[in-house]
Amino acid sequence: MNRVIDDPDQVTEGTLRGVLAAHPDLLVATDHPRVLRHAGDRPKGRVGIVTGGGSGHEPAFLGYVGPGLCDAVAVGEVFASPTAKSFHAAFKEADGGKGVACLYGNYAGDNMNVKMAAKLAAKDDITVRTVIANDDVASAPREEADKRRGVAGEILMWKAGGARAAEGADLDGVIASAQKAIDNTRSIGIGLSACTIPAAGKPNFTIEAGKMEVGIGHHGEHGIAVLPVAPAKEMAGLMLERILADLEFGGEDVSVLVSGLGATPLMELYLLYGHVDEILRAHRITPRFRFVGNYFTSLEMAGVSVTVTRLDEELDRLLRAPARSIGLTVAG
């Protein structure tokens, strides 16, 4: 893979420098070199929202900082958790006296570092509560849902939590809405090629030509099955079968997010969305919100993920609320 980088060990630094230069209206640097904060006013008198995660998933995570979304982000190395210190610094940046909701994905490193950071923040009299996204249905059976990874469904969690914080809800309310968003969200991915961490220089997993890995994780974690590449219609069927088996429906509309994993052309994402839309409607499920694009990626991995969120009145209102960021803008 030929890359647009300088020193392979400094890609995160270079990315942050470019992001700050490109979006001074959205993001500003802080005293901690791996923490960015929303360029607007600090969340004084309301709940602050923090997220964080490894680099290489852009626009996640830093691309979801902005009005109506997150207030601060802790940035890790490529595919690695941010440190406890950086989560702690992000909590301080996002604290406006009403507590901080840390909304992040279920990975061992993040869990450990967020827990340590919350303890450090408690000494500063900052209350931190968490919602841990576990939307990836392929990563563990339903009975062990607490072992599931967080993937592109995190975007819905940030949107719901951020909108609720902007409405002025207290920490309990923000946590409840973010938790509801992720509890009603299921995702699954299909990997079509591997990717390489620049500093490693070669992929730590492989996907053969002509094969697809159903249920692959955002870092190449093993999925459910390696199968011959199927037509897009079958891919959509396979993915929705898993999602719909896991999320019971009683006539609710949904939000659908189709995200590329990096190298798959946008035209293929739309082609897949056409099938997803058709299959959902055949199940009498209406896609009320539709997002198609590279929302949560894994470097140059080819492939796609599908995320379905079951809506109620509250989630509908929170998804419609205005928001502005690199990754997601809602006019409101």
- Going residue by residue from 206 to 245, which x/- string records binding to its own copies, judged by CB under 8 A? -x-xxxx----------------x-xxx-x----------
- Going residue by residue from 36 to 75, which x/- string records binding to its own copies, judged by CB under 8 A? -------------------xx-xx---x------------
Cβ 189 vs Cβ 304: under 8 Å: yes
Beta-carbon contacts of 48 under 8 Å, excluding residues fewer than 6 positions away, are 42, 71, 72, 91, 93, 94, 95, 96, 98, 99, 100, 101, 165
Specify the residue, 97 or 293, whose C-beta has the smaller distance to its own copies.
293
**Rounded CA gap, 134 and 178, in Å?**
12
**Is 32 noted as a catalytic residue in this protein?**
no
294 lines the binding site for its own copies (CB under 8 A): yes
Give strand ranges (E) for the chain: 27-29, 35-38, 48-55, 72-78, 100-105, 128-133, 185-191, 211-214, 225-228, 254-260, 287-293, 303-310
Specify the residue, 241 or 278, whose C-beta has the smaller distance to its own copies.
278
**Is 219 noted as a catalytic residue in this protein?**
yes
286 lines the binding site for its own copies (CB under 8 A): no
325 lines the binding site for its own copies (CB under 8 A): no
The three-point CA angle 244-150-86 to 5° equals 165
Cβ 280 vs Cβ 252: under 8 Å: no
297 lines the binding site for its own copies (CB under 8 A): yes
Give min distance, CB of 43 to its own copies, in A. Answer: 21
List contacts with its own copies (CB under 8 A). 1-7, 11-12, 14-15, 17-19, 21-23, 55-56, 58-59, 63, 190, 192-193, 207, 209-212, 229, 231-233, 235, 262-275, 277-278, 287, 290, 292, 294, 297, 299-300, 302-304, 324, 329, 331
Active-site annotation, residues: 57, 219
